Amino acid sequence: MGRITVDVNEEWLQAAREVLGTDSKVATINAALRSFAVRKQAVEIVSAFDSVPMDFSGSEAAWGYSGGRDLGRLAEDARTIDAA
């Protein structure tokens, strides 16, 4: 782990502490940096899934117990929610 000296906006730091639930400046900064790193990974994962064609036809009959769910509109519905 590296050590740096940084001037930080105290209001933003306090707001981040409240959102992240951290109890120190170091913990807040590390949690915020981790949050952005995880967000970047999530975007990459979603992009990878988005690049693969998915065929949900017949999904309503493919599940065991109590029947299935029709997942045919899953991708379209997800994009509609994102656009809203």
The model's pTM is: 0.56
Q: What is the DSSP string of 23-36?
A: SSHHHHHHHHHHHH
The CA dihedral of 41, 72, 53, 78, to the nearest 10 degrees, is -30
Residue 11 phi/psi, 5-degree rounding, is: -65, -45
**pLDDT tens-digit map of 25-49:** 999 999 999 999 999 998 888 888 8
pLDDT tops 60 at residue 18: yes
What is the overall mean pLDDT for the chain?
A: 82
Flag whether 31 is in a domain: yes
Confidence at residue 63, expressed as pLDDT on a 0 to 100 scale: 61
Say if residue 63 is in the same domain as residue 42.
Answer: no
Contact 45, 62 (CB under 8 A): no
Confidence at residue 32, expressed as pLDDT on a 0 to 100 scale: 95
Say if residue 45 is in the same domain as residue 59.
Answer: no
Say if residue 40 is in the same domain as residue 63.
Answer: no
> How large is the average pLDDT for residues 59-76?
65
Collapsing DSSP states into helix, strand and coil, what is residue 38? helix
Domain span including residue 37: 7-52
| Domains held by the chain: number | 2
pLDDT tops 60 at residue 62: yes
